Amino acid sequence: MSTAIESRNQTPHRQRLTPIELSHLPFPTFFTEQDCDSIVVNDLFRPYIDCEDTGQYTTSLEKLESMFGVSLKQLICNVIDSGARISLEEINFSDCSGFMRCATLHLIPTVVTNDGSTGCAGILVDRTKSWRLSQRLNLVQSELSIVSQVSAQLGATMEAENILKIVLIAVTAREGLGFNRAFVFLVDENSRELVGCHAIGPINAEEAGRIWGTIPDEGKDLRSIIRSYRRSIQLSSMETDRIVRQQILPFDDKHSPLANSILSRKPIRVTDMQQLSTLADATGRLLCAPELAIAPLYTRKRVLGVIAADNLITGRRISETDLEQLQMFASQAATALERAHLYENLQSYTGKIEKVNRQLEETQKEIIRMEKLSLMGEMTYRIAHELRNPLTVIGGFAGLLVKSDGLSETAIERAEIIQKESRRIEKHLDILLDFSKSYSQECESVDLNMLARDVVRMVEPAFLKRGISVQSVAGDSAVIVQAHKDLLLHGLYNVVGVLGELSPKGALWRLISTGEEDASVIEVLPDDQTMDRETAIGVLKGFVQSQTSTADLRLALANEAISYNGGHLGCELHEQQPRIYMSFQK
């Protein structure tokens, strides 16, 4: 009951009323004389208190004082003696039907005109409707404040673990929803099961007393409590959290209230003893409270899981308001979790883009290097060619000197040295010329059958060391394309080399050249006797999503070399088997 406030009228004035006027006042009214032996009430006052019908409706002072919870006798005497009014504001009381009301009671000095007796009239102004609206407004404001504080905390993090911790703290904090315990189960999209994720709260009354005894009552708001507990509480150290993380429940069990809440996307208050008993058995007696509130975690696109809460320790009943507020928290948590999931994907994609950009930079550097090498090869070829002609003349002249007569031994010896060094330099020039030719070749007719055989010979030593085999399967006729042979050889060599690095021991690859109507193709196919389909597909995935910078670079160079020659490097599943190919349009 609220504290009553006295308000005195400073100017004494006694209201003159007849008994009939008193009984017909448009307010719930009672009248009594100074002795307060009998309290007369009008018809409008009767719904508030039990009355006796003795020709007029009466009640006792004790009943009035018991109903209002206020000592009235002294106040009535003061009103009659002083002639001043007294008002008692915001009296909260229960009427005779048990209905809670709020009213203002005005005690007014009166004179009964027919006999001149003085007394006190009590006029009751019922403010129950406005009081209830005010209470409802305060409740809504409190709910909005809680939602606002939780939203602010959820908006400040992008980590799923922190989001779940914030929601669990808000559900169980006294300044939040005030549940004793809360549990989160998330849907495993692969196995379609409900997996226990986190929980907060005591496992029994003894632990509750120990935990609640350490929580200071500092009158903090929910935002401050969440911030404080996020740093101090370790969910993994709680027995409840440890047990819930061991729980795996079927997602499609129609008899499970957890699954029903998810499938219907509606909050549920479980009170059925059979359902509660079944759920308690399924969770190892973890969810064993006499009532359970469940709210689904879902977004527009998918269902994430559920939040369950109970009052195992205090036994407080779960109201519809509690259930609605739990669903509000669940909706906020689901939105925050989805946002965290999108942020995580964005980070992953950003990392991949950064990786691709780095690989692109490396490829560009390699292309520049190749262009420099090509230029260097051309320059080397010209310089070597210019040096070779005079060197041949010098060597030939030294040979003639050695064979001529009349030279001294010293001169012959020196001529032999000149001849020997000339031959040695010519060999080095041959090496330089061979090196430069690969960068200065013109486009020519290349037989893909021969190209495949050359690549097999090049990779075979390294493949044998790994226990891998490679074969070239030639067609009935030559498969000719116009290309720079060495560049094409370099490209196919890198493709086959990367496949060899990804293949298991004992694998066999075949290089098959075919000439089709509109294209010439070299296929690289796995042998199904040495590699099953799953293994071969795994190699293909590794080929497409190469994990090493070396493989990325080799494939980038291979693709560049093949594209430079008008070809296309591709891979696909052909007749349920992986197929890597180089195709050249005719």
Tell me how far apart the alpha carbons of residues 108 and 119 are, in angstroms, rounded to a whole number.
9
Q: 515 with 427, same domain?
A: no
Do 163 and 142 meet the contact criterion of CB atoms below 8 Å apart? no
**Token output for 521:** 């193709």
Q: 409 with 370, same domain?
A: yes
Collapsing DSSP states into helix, strand and coil, what is residue 178? coil
Q: 103 with 189, same domain?
A: no
Q: Is 580 exposed, middle or buried (0-12, 13-18, 19+ CB in 10 A)?
A: buried
Q: 57 with 10, same domain?
A: yes
∠ CA 115-119-123, nearest 5°, is 120
Q: 178 with 218, same domain?
A: yes
Query: Quick check: is 243 in a domain?
Result: yes
Q: 434 with 452, same domain?
A: no
Query: Quick check: is 333 in a domain?
Result: yes
Rounded to two decimals, the pTM is 0.51
Q: 459 with 485, same domain?
A: yes
Which domain CATH number covers 390?
A: 1.10.287
Which domain CATH number covers 521?
A: 3.30.565.10
For 294, which DSSP code?
A: E
Query: Quick check: is 262 in a domain?
Result: yes
Of 440, 457, 475, which residue is a domain's last?
Answer: 440
Do 540 and 571 meet the contact criterion of CB atoms below 8 Å apart? yes
Query: Quick check: is 181 in a domain?
Result: yes
Q: 367 with 474, same domain?
A: no
Q: 458 with 581, same domain?
A: yes
Query: Quick check: is 352 in a domain?
Result: no
Q: 165 with 309, same domain?
A: yes
Q: 224 with 318, same domain?
A: yes
∠ CA 562-567-573, nearest 5°, is 100
Give the chain's domain count.
4
Q: Can you give the pLDDT of all 586 residues of the chain as single tens digits?
A: 444 444 444 455 677 777 677 777 888 999 888 788 888 888 899 889 887 766 678 888 899 999 999 999 999 999 888 888 999 998 999 988 889 999 999 999 988 766 677 888 999 999 999 888 888 887 777 777 777 777 878 887 888 888 888 898 888 888 888 899 999 999 998 888 999 999 988 888 777 766 665 555 555 666 676 666 666 566 777 888 899 999 999 887 878 899 999 989 999 999 999 899 888 888 888 888 999 999 999 998 889 999 999 999 999 999 998 999 999 999 999 999 999 888 888 888 998 899 888 888 877 776 676 566 566 656 766 777 777 778 788 878 888 877 777 777 888 888 888 888 888 777 667 655 654 555 545 678 889 999 899 888 888 888 898 899 999 888 778 888 888 788 788 788 888 888 888 888 988 888 888 887 788 888 888 888 888 888 888 888 888 776 665 677 677 777 877 887 788 888 888 777 788 888 988 7
Tell me how far apart the alpha carbons of residues 402 and 325 are, in angstroms, rounded to a whole number.
110
Query: Quick check: is 502 in a domain?
Result: yes
Domain range holding 497? 444-585
